[in-house]
Amino acid sequence: MLLTADIGNTNIKFGIFDKSDLIRTLTISCSKAKTADEYGVELYSLIRVMGIHREDFSGCIISSVVPLVTTRIDEAVRDLLGVEPLIVGPGVKTGLNIRIDDPSILGADLVCACVAANNISPAPLIVISMGTATVWCVIDKNGSMIGCPIAPGVSVSLEALTNNTALLQGVSFTAPKSVIGKNTDKSIRAGVIWGTVCMIDGMIDKIEKELGEKCSVIATGGLSKTIIRYCEHDIEIKENLILEGLRIIYERNKKSQKD
């Protein structure tokens, strides 16, 4: 089995693959305060509940946007599973042509998402990642990643609004029927949810106009199910896109080592 780990700013999402089949996902909170031992205990507890043993794993691959936590997960996996994790970064074969000013600055999670998207949909492509930030990765007709506009994520925007306004309380992520809010709660939800929907649809229109081509569109991330269903464009939701990209990258590097 293969253990994949997507380390984000808020959560760490693990995927367990049996060959090409994703058989289980596990999510724990991401904290710089946790030690490698603490991460190891959490991961061990989760896999034991599933009836999986450390001997069942033959490899591990990690993508991360939090370097400090990367080190601790790497150590935890080595101690727990006895395998050396492959960490997505310079020197790792991804098969993705990145045509931006400095390819090294592209987040490993976005690289994985683009690799998986290229594997399941025809280019040109727009891959929307909805997490702490909302990112539109643009893949041209040749399968090359050529850029990515970035905006604050939905939860970040909502948290900033409610935390910095004394009279506003926490609100839910459900869209009101009307975009014209008639009370505080509905007004905030209309602005945040419907505003994000309009932004996503509008950015797709702008990207397609600039490319001069219609694009396949794939969305991933924790809030994609909440927001994308309200969009006017035909957008496919792939909740585990990054984990799938990690599996593909791992297999490419394993094959490269054999060759």
User: What is the pLDDT at residue 189?
Assistant: 82
Query: Is 109 annotated as catalytic?
Result: yes
Q: Return averaged pLDDT per consecutive 10 residues of the chain, 259 residues in all.
A: 94 94 93 95 89 90 96 96 94 94 92 97 96 94 96 82 61 78 83 92 98 97 89 96 98 80
66 and 185 fall within a common domain: no
Q: Evaluate whether residue 258 is within a structural domain.
A: no
Residue of 21, 109, 185, 234 marked active site: 109
3-state secondary structure 231-256: CCCCCEECCCHHHHHHHHHHHHHHHH
DSSP state of 122: P
Same domain, 233 and 109: yes
Are 132 and 64 found together in one domain?
Answer: no
Give the domain CATH number at 19. Answer: 3.30.420.40
State residue 32's pLDDT score: 94
Amino acid 166: pLDDT: 54
Closest Cα to residue 95, out of 252, 259, 257, 246? 252
- Regarding pTM above 0.75, the answer is yes
* pLDDT value of position 84: 94
User: Would you say residue 195 lies in a domain?
Assistant: yes
Query: Any idea which residue has 């395998």 for tokens?
Result: 83
| Tokens representing residue 168 in the block | 């506003």
* Continuous segment of H or E residues that includes residue 109: helix 108-120
Tell whether 164 and 232 lie within a shared domain.
yes
In a shared domain, residues 159 and 44: no
Specify the pairing of strand 125-130 against strand 133-139: antiparallel
Are 138 and 126 contacting, i.e. CB atoms less than 8 angstroms apart?
A: yes
In a shared domain, residues 112 and 213: yes
d(CA 194, CA 29): 28
Query: What strands lie across the sheet with 2-7, from one edge to the other?
Result: 21-29, 11-18, 2-7, 59-64, 86-87
Supply the range of the domain harboring residue 28: 2-87
